[in-house]
């Protein structure tokens, strides 16, 4: 299934700073779930996920 308009997308994330210091992560918790295409997450992240298939891994 692809991340497209009106689909519920769930993902695990790891957020680090420029030095690699861990700022936040969903690992060990439930994944972040949101309704794609409605601006519920940062616009750049939502755009980067558009059309991605389940199982995608990226940075």
Gyration radius from the chain CA atoms: 12
Query: Could you state, in order of their start, the residue ranges of all structural domains in the chain?
Result: 8-49
Q: In 10 A of CB 32, how many CB atoms?
A: 14
Query: Which SS3 state, helix, strand or coil, does residue 50 take?
Result: coil
CA 33 from centroid of its chain's CA atoms? 8
Q: What sign does the dihedral 56-33-2-54 (CA atoms) show?
A: positive
Query: Tens-of-pLDDT digits for all 59 residues of the chain?
Result: 899 999 999 999 999 999 999 999 999 999 999 999 999 999 999 999 999 999 999 87
State pTM to two decimals.
0.84
């Amino acid at each position: 299934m692809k991340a497209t308009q009106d689909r519920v997308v769930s993902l695990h994330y790891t957020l680090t700073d420029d030095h690699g210091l861990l700022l936040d992560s969903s690992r060990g918790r439930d994944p972040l779930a949101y309704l794609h295409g409605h601006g519920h997450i940062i616009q750049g992240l939502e755009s980067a996920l558009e059309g991605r298939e389940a199982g995608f891994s990226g940075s």
